[in-house]
Amino acid sequence: MMIIDRFEQNFAVVETDDGMINIEREYLPEDSSEGDVIVPTGNGYIIDGEATAQRRKSMAERLNRLTGRKE
């Protein structure tokens, strides 16, 4: 899985199963944001909307459990 960790200048710092890599922003969709799951294509990357939504939901649930929220 490839997850955008942060943006630095003209690069996205991406977490992969093998560690961190830098990807030039020009190869990512314009609406990319931190936390998006991306998938390589022949000429760049696309956002995996379903995987991103599932990951964000899981993270929110984990945070709610840790903080005692019932949302």
Instruction: Quickly list DSSP for 20-71.
Output: EEEEEGGGS-TT--TT-EEEEETTEEEE-HHHHHHHHHHHHHHHHHHHT---
Tens digits of per-residue pLDDT, 12-69?
Answer: 999 999 999 999 999 999 999 999 999 999 999 999 999 999 999 999 999 999 998 7
What are the extents of the domains in the chain? 2-67
Query: Per the confidence metrics, is the pTM higher than 0.85?
Result: yes
Which CATH architecture best describes the domain 2-67?
Roll (2.30)
CA dihedral 57, 58, 59, 65 (to 10 degrees): 110
Distance from the Cα of residue 29 to its chain's centroid: 12
pLDDT for 69 equals 76
Q: Report pLDDT for 4.
A: 98
Confidence of residue 71 (pLDDT cuts 50, 70, 90): low
Cα distance between residue 38 and residue 2, in whole Å: 6
Q: Is 16 helix (H, G, I), strand (E, B) or coil?
A: strand
